[in-house]
A = this chain, B = another copy of it.
């Protein structure tokens, strides 16, 4: 059975892969981390859309049955620019909608969204949230240092806590009750974020919701696979950082990388 294609700018999308593997243990996954061009979060909609098209072409060429755009930035900036003919017959799912849906379900009215600069500028989460619950009050905050802090491995660290305190302060002062982790790297510093936000703020990590959406989408199209899964991890740049973080996120020491060129 053809695999599900999952792509991200780098290693962060593996938090989605991890949720997919728990939810759909029979599915094969073909992962693409565009590590030669990461990060996407500081780049323009045109550039992110161009990279996304190239990634989709690559996954299409490898014969995937569905695509999950695990990168929040690509979901926010590129997906709205892709026509229905981009990959005919292959469903393409982003991560904004499921995250927004969960936040709209649990919030008591005041939602904070943390994401990359590009995602925040795109206004994708607030738009998705307002479409579901127009009365929500929403505050957004770009957190450009979180990704490099995660990649440095300072997951639970006093410096990360101070950076988080600075980014979250305006949202907490505004009295948010729900915080959307709008970047796939952020679940990796969830403990720090929860400690600073306090126990009354619900953290929404879209990975579980994405996995549920994919399960429903595959079932609807009768595309489920139930046995002999095989996982392949492709990267556009060779990278020790990717391998190290991949093993941590997937709790799997057997992750082998394949280098591919996507230009």
Separation of A263 and B117 alpha carbons in the complex (Å): 24
A42-B241, A238-B44 known; A152 vs B144 contact (CB < 8 Å): yes
Chain A interface category by residue count:
20 to 34
Separation of A53 and B239 alpha carbons in the complex (Å): 21
Q: Tell me if A191 is interfacial: C-beta within 8 Å of chain B.
A: no
Separation of A239 and B151 alpha carbons in the complex (Å): 23
* Selected interface stretch from A94-102, A158-166, A172-180, A207-215: A158-166
Q: Tell me if A37 is interfacial: C-beta within 8 Å of chain B.
A: yes
Determine if B36 and A47 form an interchain contact, defined as CB atoms under 8 angstroms apart: yes
Chain B residues with CB under 8 A of A145: 145, 148-149, 152
A121 to chain B, nearest CB (A): 9
Chain B residues with CB under 8 A of A152: 144-145
Chain B residues with CB under 8 A of A2: none
Determine if B238 and A46 form an interchain contact, defined as CB atoms under 8 angstroms apart: yes
A258 to chain B, nearest CB (A): 14
Chain B residues with CB under 8 A of A37: 36-37
Q: Can you report 19 residue pairs joining A to B where beta carbons are below 8 Å apart?
A: A36-B43, A36-B47, A38-B42, A42-B151, A42-B239, A43-B237, A44-B237, A44-B239, A46-B237, A46-B238, A47-B236, A47-B238, A144-B148, A144-B151, A144-B152, A145-B145, A148-B148, A159-B159, A263-B263
In the complex, the 10 A-B pairs of residues with the closest C-beta atoms, listed nearest first:
A148-B148, A47-B237, A44-B238, A36-B47, A43-B237, A44-B237, A37-B37, A145-B148, A144-B152, A159-B162
